[in-house]
């Protein structure tokens, strides 16, 4: 069944484009969101939000080739799913005392500390992410989140595959330098 947000599109050409896009990729979209959320109800809700955002980007989507379109859709799904998790985490913050009651059998009894450190690192990265340029974000997102190969990244960014490794090193350095600037100096 085609979602109402697609059926409500006034331009017939745009409606046909989004209908075809939905029919071709709705399983991919659902699975990418579900991998992050692990909840079918939230996955359906976020799928609707992603579709609404994609409708706003129809001219951009039409200009993409198939591979770029698929990558764009995957990135949009993951982005919205992770944003949903972050907003849930902010609204349902678990008190520190609740963690203390949990048995800590993994990592030699240091799971709590590792969890807190990882959360702090992710929060720091989320704060500096908007400060990175689009190319740096694309490189880091493509390599670390979407797990693309160097060849794929090179094709998408229009650089030689042999140069991707250096571009990725520069992207990591930019992010690391921003993280260092954010750290309070003793």
3-state SS class at 111: helix
What is this structure's pTM? 0.50
The percent of residues in the chain predicted with pLDDT above 70, rounded, is: 84
Q: Is the pLDDT of residue 26 over 70?
A: yes
Q: What angle do CA 132, 121, 68 make, to 5 degrees?
A: 45
pLDDT, one tens digit per residue, over 90-111 is 766 555 445 444 555 555 555 6
Q: Is the pLDDT of residue 37 over 60?
A: yes
How many alpha carbons lie under 13 Å from residue 160 in its C-beta half-sphere?
Answer: 3
Q: Is the pLDDT of residue 59 over 90?
A: yes
Task: For residues 164 and 172, give the distance between their C-alpha atoms in angstroms, rounded to a whole number.
Answer: 12
| Cβ-based neighbours of 64, under 8 Å, separated by 6 or more | 72
**Which domains are seen in the chain, by residue range?**
1-93 (1.10.1740), 113-186 (1.10.10)
């Amino acid at each position: 069944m085609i979602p109402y947000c697609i059926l409500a599109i006034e331009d017939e050409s745009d409606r046909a484009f989004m209908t075809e896009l939905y029919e071709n990729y709705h399983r991919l979209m659902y699975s990418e969101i579900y991998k992050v959320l692990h909840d079918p109800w939230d996955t359906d809700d976020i799928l609707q939000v992603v579709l609404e955002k994609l409708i706003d980007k129809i001219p951009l989507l039409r200009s993409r080739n198939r591979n770029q379109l698929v990558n764009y859709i995957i990135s949009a799904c993951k982005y919205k799913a992770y944003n949903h998790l972050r907003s849930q985490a902010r609204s349902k913050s678990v008190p520190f005392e609740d963690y203390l009651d949990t048995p800590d059998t993994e990592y030699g009894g240091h799971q709590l500390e590792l969890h807190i450190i990882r959360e702090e690192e992710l929060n720091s990265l989320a704060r500096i992410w908007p400060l990175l340029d689009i190319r740096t974000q694309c490189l880091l997102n493509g390599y670390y989140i979407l797990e693309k190969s160097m060849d794929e990244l090179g094709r998408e960014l229009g650089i030689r595959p042999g140069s991707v490794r250096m571009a990725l090193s520069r992207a990591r350095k930019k992010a690391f330098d921003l993280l260092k600037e954010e750290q309070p100096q003793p």
